[in-house]
Amino acid sequence: MITNRLPGSRANNTRLLILSLAAALPLAIVIGLISGAAQLTATESLQALWHLAGGHNTGQAETIVGRIRLPRVLLAAVMGANLAMCGAAMQGLFRNPLADPSLIGVTAGASLGGALVIVTGGRLLEGYMGLTLISAGAFLGGVLAVLFVYRLATSANGTSVATMLLAGIAITALAGALGSMLEFFVDNEMLRRISLWKMGGLDGASYPRLWLGGSVSIALLLALPRYAAALNALLLGESEARHLGIDIPRTKLALVVWVAIGVGTSVALVGTIAFVGLVVPHLIRLLIGPNHRYLLPASALAGALLLVIADTLARVALSPTELPVGIITAIVGVPFFISLLRQRHHYGMQS
């Protein structure tokens, strides 16, 4: 029988971590609101928020906070939560703490879909409608790639996780090759546009994008915890989970679909942002353990916190120039990932 209860010390650590993350996230949001090329104090930012809540948008501070920084910071929190939750679900499904949502091809498929729309649309894709079409192409490309991977991994005997992993690697390589071929034939201006979009950035944040991303995030927060017990059972192995009454095919399909929706939406709205779905859930698992009942919400909070901090650094590191936030997450994530690999190798040698 799988229990959701934790030992006393582990439960206290879990509660403390979740409360700490929940307290740190609003602080990071406030820091994000006051940081940028235009200097605003915390008091000015909070006053601007108060005026915006009252329907007054007459000052420069209200314009900067309300139209630029607030949707950007909130979108960073939403997308960080999405990526981290999807990463935790994939690590549980593959029973590998170093798994990543991109393993099933969603990131590569979404990148190819967005690049294809940029190339075929050319200069017709300008303004808000252009961004909408690019986002739609990215989302569709990610979903189609995942469905293709799932179909390749499914046979009369069920869906093989190992085959899904191999199919995801193959589709990722194929999508990368097709994307490179597209980039080979475009001019320099379009090549730069594709490259900047793939780097990941929140400079195009807006309230419609925030509404869409927030809706998907709420859906993930409601849906993925329902599979916490199934993910806990899968950690024991598929045979054991099946004996515990888990519907393995249905669980796999549901998790793959939800991850495709979450990561596809993220790539569609903010481009490719690396390592959030890998580093965050792995770190949270090291701190509170593998129980997905707590791992999923804690990962969501930590992912939101990480991406808000990363976006703030991207805006102030070379101010007034902004770095793509995907560069910041990669710079932070790669050394951390290498340290995790070294630790696993060290413990493996000792055992």
Please provide the average confidence, as pLDDT, over all residues in the chain: 83
Considering the entire predicted model, what is its pTM? 0.86
Selection from 17-31, 61-75, 328-342 with the highest mean pLDDT: 17-31
- What would the mean pLDDT of 162-183 be, rounded to a whole number? 89
Task: Quote the CA–CA distance of 82 and 322 in Å, as a whole number.
Answer: 23
- What would the mean pLDDT of 40-46 be, rounded to a whole number? 73
139 vs 342, more confident: 139
- Asked whether residue 219 is assigned to any structural domain, the reply reads yes
- Asked whether residue 225 is assigned to any structural domain, the reply reads yes
Task: Give the domain extent around 49.
Answer: 16-350
| Dihedral of the alpha carbons of 226, 229, 235, 240, in degrees to the nearest 10 | -120
Say whether pLDDT at 124 is over 60.
no
- Asked whether residue 9 is assigned to any structural domain, the reply reads no
Task: Quote the CA–CA distance of 137 and 146 in Å, as a whole number.
Answer: 14
Say whether pLDDT at 59 is over 80.
no
Give residue 191's pLDDT band: very low, low, confident or very high (50, 70, 90). confident
Tokens of 113: 């879909």
- Asked whether residue 90 is assigned to any structural domain, the reply reads yes
Give residue 1's pLDDT band: very low, low, confident or very high (50, 70, 90). very low
Report the pLDDT value the prediction gives residue 21, as an integer from 0 to 100: 94
Count structural domains, the chain.
Answer: 1
Residue whose entry in the numeric block shows the structure tokens 């915390």: 42
Give residue 69's pLDDT band: very low, low, confident or very high (50, 70, 90). confident
- Asked whether residue 92 is assigned to any structural domain, the reply reads yes
Say whether pLDDT at 123 is over 60.
no
Distances in Å between the Cα of 190 and the Cα atoms of 122, 127, 138, 194 are: 8, 15, 16, 6
Give residue 129's pLDDT band: very low, low, confident or very high (50, 70, 90). very low
Tokens of 249: 């095919």
Task: Quote the CA–CA distance of 97 and 299 in Å, as a whole number.
Answer: 13
DSSP SS3 for 169: helix
CA atoms within 13 A on the CB side of 298: 26
- Asked whether residue 11 is assigned to any structural domain, the reply reads no
Nearest residue to 313 via CA among 31, 19, 3: 31
Tokens of 150: 């799932």
- Asked whether residue 7 is assigned to any structural domain, the reply reads no
Burial of 85 from C-beta contacts in 10 A (0-12 / 13-18 / 19+): buried
Q: Are 27 and 308 in contact (CB under 8 A)?
A: no
Q: Are 94 and 256 in contact (CB under 8 A)?
A: no
- Asked whether residue 88 is assigned to any structural domain, the reply reads yes
For residue 292, give the CATH number of its domain: 1.10.3470.10
Say whether pLDDT at 135 is over 70.
yes
Q: Are 134 and 124 in contact (CB under 8 A)?
A: no
